[in-house]
Amino acid sequence: MNLFEANNISKRFGGVVALIDAEFGFSGCKICGLVGANGSGKTTFARICAGLINKDSGNFYIDGETKDINSPFDAEKLGIALAHQNLSLIPDLTVWENICLGHELRKGKIFPGNKNSMDLSIEILNDLVPGEISINSKISTLNPAQKQIVEIAKALYRKPKLLILDESTAALEYFHVEKLFEKIKQLKEDGMSIIFISHRLWEIIKICDLLYVFRNGKTVGKIDFEKEPRDENLIVPLITGGDFCGINYIKKEKKNLIEKNVIIRFDEVSYRNKLNKVSFEIKKGEIVGIGGLHGQGQEELIMALSGAVPVESGKYYFEGKEFRSRHTLNAIRKGIYLVPGDRQKDGLFNNHSILRNIIYPRFTLKKERLFLKLKNLYKITGDIIKKISINPPESEMTVKNLSGGNQQKVVFGRWLQFQPKVILLNDPTKGVDIETKDSLYRIVNELSLKGTTVILYSSSNEEIICNCDRVFIMFEGKIVEEIEHEDICEDKLIKSSLRVGEKG
Amino acid sequence: MIARKNNNQKILLKELWLRVYKDSSFPGFVVLILLIIGNAILQKDFFSYNIIKSNFMIYTPLILASIAQAIIIISGSLDLSLGASMSLFTVITAYFMTDTNVFPIVMLGFAVVFMTGALNGALIGKLGLSPLITTYATQAIIIGFAMFILPNAGGYVPKFFYRIYRADVLKVIPAPIFILIIGLIIWFVISRTTLYRYIYAIGSDEEAAYASGLKVSNIRFAAHLIASLFIAIAGLCILLSTATGDFRSGNPFALNSVAAVVVGGVSLTGGKGNIWGAVFGALILGLLNNLIFFAQISSFYQTFAKGMIIVLSLSMAAIPRIFEEKYKFGY
């Protein structure tokens, strides 16, 4: 592809702005990097280029003409192939069937020349990982790294002019990445352009000719490595915004923990390949943040803590005793409460009233007898509504009709009627306005002063900085760094998350 | 040298066994074998030529209907109107048929069934309506239409025509089995096409299929059309075996075909399972009736026993899954 330009691309999802006037462009066969924090619109941009999402406004200027990309078929005609981050593979088909899906080499008109497609698939796959993946195994039997490689092979099979790799390296091992880079460089020589999306700065620096930085859906920087030095310290300020280490959020004061009791202890806990021998101790009344790039095992850690997934190896101690759980019920009865990340799916009974949503946990905890004392329940609900100021303050309001922030308040508020020992917050402020955010964290802090342990995973560094006593940085299923209260700052968090200074 | 060869053969056999064992239709196959053994014990001449022939005269329509249902379910859809389409086939053909126009009228029947398939395919594939309710509604439409043509069972089927079903091909293959073999050959040809693979793809993960550049709605439409071919052949079998047109004749096939397909290990969520499962499932349901009849179970308990055995065979399919998916949570 000789010229690719995307001008003023904007996209909203409901009320959330994903991209606003994003710019992107290059000429000639280049490897063009794209970085940005979580939620900066990288994946949205990639999906728009591949025709999976329709942009709201803006235009593409490709090889001298304005082009419209409205469906995957348009993208295909233009020679754009995307290696998806969340995978476009069919779990019930085999590896080679997936690689050539929709583009089988044909012998006649209807019947596929299976052997030819298969040979070509094997060739492409072997170029990436010689002899590691059996061509006839079903996708559902592969591990995430293998799936990702098949995904890349699938994109390459389409012989694109522009290949978009959307965080394809995130699941890969170091030597696979090396191998992929060799291949990419060779493809560039052969006349393919590549958009390379990654969180790992060392990869960007190593391979890219050109780099775009997105922040909050806008293009905030363009670095041409032919003119400028390949330096991580040039890129990080663009990603974070503001000067390097110049931002200081108002941190809460360091708390003197009244009790030194350890409430939760993990001893080399593993789960699938998502958690890898995680060990830590958390004291009573502490607020612990979990940081790191997206999808490094944070959600699984929260799930393991909440008892929703059993630990596969290692031990989980709660209040000094070993805690084995196959069901969240066990954890809830012990006083470990979860505020899930996806409130629509895991947190709320959407078609029920606030009252019902709030009183359901009472049944789990056997606080109610056969007949409900409605008066009492209304009072409890009223108190909670007042305490966290749900708007409108009507117990009978259907949760579906509340705004996102108020819904989150309901999810959170339902646990306030009990005395929580541990509260697990999985990205509690996703799509929540500032006011709600403040009141939520005010309550969290109050709770922690009363001795509740809080474990917070948030995609926003600001919240972690402002609220946490301690931060664990996770990377590939391990806690790679522990930051104490006085050291928590944006700069430190980002550097640790991106593993600046460490390769592979 | 010989030892090594044996070893290789062992490995090959083991792989083959694993493939068979892991196949989704395997539990159905086991149940089928058990049923055949049971039948053979209860009915002395179970394996005799005449019994096999008369059994297949009954089973062939259900097997064909189950193949059609399997194709539709694998594509991520469902067809409750399949029985109604079969009835419509018998009604249309029996209504128009005379001694001289047999072949064109049969073709007309095929065309009509294709139209019902196209209707379902258009509503479900193109408009994206819910298959369950849509086909429930189209079923009512089709039955209504059939009632309008022939309010009472009747019509005319020439004797030379319906006797075909009782004849033998090459003097050894009973006609119903021959029709079944033709059906399986058609399926075999279809299963070699890319379209067939696309049907699995859209059933397994629609979004991923779309992202891979497949035209999901067209493929689902095509799945309904392909299934129509088998539905029409099944309708033809019914017509030949009953020699009348009756808008009720296809009724039991709608749910029985779904039951057969599921017993045969095809997943209702789509994308999983194969045609062999449908064939096994249909045979299981057929042999089940046979078994219950010959076991001389009081008619009071027949329905009960049938239900119990279906539940049992379904549970057999679920047991390996329980061991595989240890954890119910979405991780």
Among residues 5-24 of chain B, which lie with CB inside 8 Å of chain A?
A: none
Q: Which of A240, A266, A297 is the last residue of a domain?
A: A240
Across the interface, of B192, B205, B331, the residue whose CB is closest to A90 is B205
The residue-averaged pLDDT of A439-454 equals 87
Q: Say what the pLDDT of residue A254 is.
A: 66
d(CA B28, CA A234): 63
Phi (first) and psi of residue B85, to 5 degrees: -65, -40
Q: How far apart are CA A76 and CA B212, in angstroms?
A: 10
Question: Is the model's pLDDT at A176 over the cut of 90?
Answer: no
Whole-number Å distance between alpha carbons of A40 and A354: 33
Is B186 in the A-facing interface, judged by CB distances under 8 Å?
Answer: no
Q: What is the pLDDT of residue A246?
A: 39
pLDDT attached to residue B1: 44
**Within a domain: residue A213?**
yes
Range with the poorest average pLDDT among A50-64, A170-184, B242-256, B310-324: B310-324
Residues A171 and A41 in one domain: yes
Choice among A209-223, A484-498, B226-240 with the minimum mean pLDDT? A484-498
What's the mean pLDDT in A49-69?
Answer: 85
Q: Which residues of A touch B207 (CB under 8 A)?
A: 88
Number of H helices, E strands in chain B: 14, 2
> Under an 8 A CB cutoff, do A90 and B327 touch?
no
| Residue A78, pLDDT above cutoff 90 | no
Chain B residues within 8 A of A300 when measuring between CB atoms? 331
pLDDT (average), residues B163-179: 84
Distances from the Cα of A455 to the Cαs of A163, A262, A386, A423, B284, in angstroms? 40, 14, 25, 6, 54
Q: Quickly list H helices, A144-231.
A: 144-157, 174-189, 201-207
A13 inside domain: yes
| Same structural domain, A221 and A274 | no
Mean pLDDT of A52-77: 86
Q: How many CB pairs under 8 A join A and B?
A: 78
Using DSSP's 3-state secondary structure scheme, residue A29 falls into coil
> Based on the structure, what is the number of domains in chain A?
3
pLDDT at position B107 is 94
Same structural domain, A77 and A15: yes
CATH number of the domain where residue A36 is located: 3.40.50.300
Mean of the pLDDT values across residues A141-148? 81
**A57 in a structural domain:** yes
B321 to chain A, any CB pair closer than 8 A? The answer is no
The size of chain B, in residues, is 331
What is the pLDDT at residue A129?
78
Q: Which of the residue ranges A360-364, A393-397, B113-117, B251-255 has the most confident prediction, judged by mean pLDDT?
A: B113-117
| Rounded Cα distance, B234 and B285, in Å | 16
User: Same domain, yes or no, for A143 and A232?
Assistant: yes
Residue B186: the pLDDT is 92
Taking an 8 Å cut-off on Cβ atoms, the answer to whether A72 and B210 are in contact is: yes
Q: Which helix (H) or strand (E) holds A301?
A: helix A298-306
Cβ contacts of residue A199 below 8 Å, gap of 6+? A35, A167, A170, A293, A294, A498
- CATH number of the domain that B198 lies in? 1.10.3470
Q: Which of A191, A222, A240 marks a domain boundary?
A: A240
* pLDDT of A217 over the 90 cut: no
Q: Please report residues of A whose CB lies closer than 8 A to that of B210.
A: 52, 72
Question: Do A51 and A101 fall into the same domain?
Answer: yes
In a domain, A494, yes or no: yes
**Range among A212-216, A482-486, B121-125 with highest mean pLDDT value:** B121-125
pLDDT confidence tier of residue B329, bands split at 50, 70 and 90: very low
Is B327 in CB contact (< 8 Å) with chain A?
A: yes
Residue B328 lies in a domain: no
In this complex, do A110 and B201 lie within 8 Å of one another by their Cβ atoms?
Answer: no
pLDDT band, very low/low/confident/very high, at A111 (cuts 50, 70, 90):
low
In a domain, A436, yes or no: no
Indicate the average pLDDT of chain B.
86
Q: pLDDT tens digits for B184-195? A: 999 998 888 888
Domain co-membership, A182 together with A317 = no
Asked whether residue B277 is domain-assigned, the answer is yes
Of residues B49 and B72, more confidence is placed in B72
Banded pLDDT at A501 (limits 50, 70, 90): low
Backbone angles phi, psi at B230, to 5 degrees: -70, -35
Residue range B258-275, pLDDT digits in tens: 989 988 888 888 888 888
3-state helix, strand, coil in chain B (%, to 5): 75, 0, 25
Interface probe for A, chosen from B16, B212, B215, B266 (most Cβ of A below 10 Å), is B212
Mutation for B interface: A101, A107, A156, A312, most B CBs within 10 A: A101
Residue A457 is assigned to a structural domain of this protein: yes
Percent of chain B predicted with pLDDT > 70: 93
Contact B331 A76 (CB under 8 A): no
- Cα-to-chain-centroid distance, residue B243: 22
CB distance B94 to B154 below 8 Å = yes
pLDDT tier at A244, thresholds 50, 70, 90: very low
pLDDT at B324: 55
User: Is it the case that residue B226 has pLDDT exceeding 90?
Assistant: yes
Give per-residue pLDDT as tens, B105-159. 999 999 999 999 999 999 998 898 989 999 999 999 999 999 999 888 888 888 8
What are the helix (H) ranges across A392-500?
404-413, 434-449, 461-467, 490-498
DSSP string computed for B135-151: HHHHHHHHHHHHHHH-S
Euclidean distance between CA atoms B116 and B87, whole angstroms: 12
Average pLDDT over residues A316-329: 85
- With respect to residue B39, please indicate whether it lies within any of the assigned structural domains: no
Q: Residue B158 — φ and ψ, nearest 5°?
A: -60, 145
Which residues span the domain enclosing A372?
Answer: 343-417
Q: Do A101 and B331 touch (CB under 8 A)?
A: no
User: Which residues are registered as beta bridge partners of A34?
Assistant: A197, A212
Examine the domain organization and report whether A176 and A235 are in the same domain.
Answer: yes
Residue B8 or residue B172, greater confidence: B172
A108 to chain B: closest CA residue: B193
b vs e for A118-139, b when ≥16 Cβ sit within 10 Å of the residue's Cβ?
Answer: bebbbebbebbbeeebebeebb
pLDDT of A245? 42
A111, B200: Cβ pair inside 8 Å? no
Does residue B44 register a pLDDT over 90? no
For residue A394, the SS3 value is: coil
- Listed range (A60-69, A106-115, A241-250, A334-343) with the worst mean pLDDT: A241-250
pLDDT band at A504 (very low <50, low <70, confident <90, very high): very low
Give me the mean pLDDT over the A334-354 stretch.
85
The last residue of one of the domains, among A211, A240, A269, is A240
Residue in B194, B215, B272 closest to A104 by CB: B194
Checking if the pLDDT of B62 tops 60, the result is: yes
Q: What is the pLDDT of residue A13?
A: 73
Closest CA–CA distance from residue A36 to any residue of chain B (Å):
24
Q: Give chain A's count of helices (H) and strands (E).
A: 16, 20
Tell me which residue range forms the domain holding B221: 28-33+48-317
Asked, for residue B3, whether it belongs to a domain, the answer is: no
Of the candidates B193, B195, B204, which has its C-beta nearest A90's C-beta? B204
Domain contains B10: no
Place of tokens 């003097």: B171
In the sheet with A262-271, reading across from the earlier edge strand, the strands are: A275-283, A262-271, A313-318, A321-322
* CA nearest to A456, candidates A322, A282, A330: A282
Q: Distance, in angstroms, between B90 CA and closest chain A CA?
A: 32
Of A249 and B136, the one with more pLDDT: B136
Q: Is residue B331 part of a domain?
A: no
What's the average model confidence in pLDDT over A261-274?
A: 85
User: Could you tell me if A380 and A234 lie in one domain?
Assistant: no
Q: What is the pLDDT of residue B232?
A: 94
Answer whether A308 touches B (CB < 8 Å).
yes
SS3 A222: strand
Same domain flag for A159 and A200 = yes
CA nearest B210 in A: which residue? A72
Quick: pLDDT tens for B298-326: 777 778 877 887 788 777 766 666 655 54
Which of B194, B195, B272 has its CB closest to that of A92?
B272
C-alpha distance from B215 to closest chain A C-alpha (Å): 9
Say whether B198 and A102 touch across the interface (CB within 8 A).
yes
**Residue A236 sits in the same domain as residue A252:** no
Q: Is the pLDDT of residue B169 over 90?
A: no
Domain-embedded: residue B1: no
Q: How far apart are CA A48 and CA A74, in angstroms?
A: 11
Q: Do both A271 and A150 map to the same domain?
A: no
Start-to-end C-alpha separation, chain B: 48
Task: Determine contact: A147 vs chain B, CB below 8 A.
Answer: no
Indicate whether B5 belongs to any domain.
no
- Average pLDDT of A419-433? 82
- Stretch A403-417: mean pLDDT, rounded? 86
Residue B202 class from Cβ within 10 Å (0-12 exposed, 13-18 middle, 19+ buried)?
A: buried
Q: Can you tell me the mean pLDDT for B25-36?
A: 85
**Residue in this structure with the two tokens 């539709």, named with its chain if needed:** B72
* Measured distance CA(A472)–CA(A492) in Å, rounded: 12
Does A49 have pLDDT greater than 60? Answer: yes
A347: DSSP letter: I
In a domain, A444, yes or no: no
Residues A253 and A356 in one domain: no
If one counts the domains in chain B, the total is 1
What is residue B330's predicted lDDT score, i.e. its pLDDT?
Answer: 41
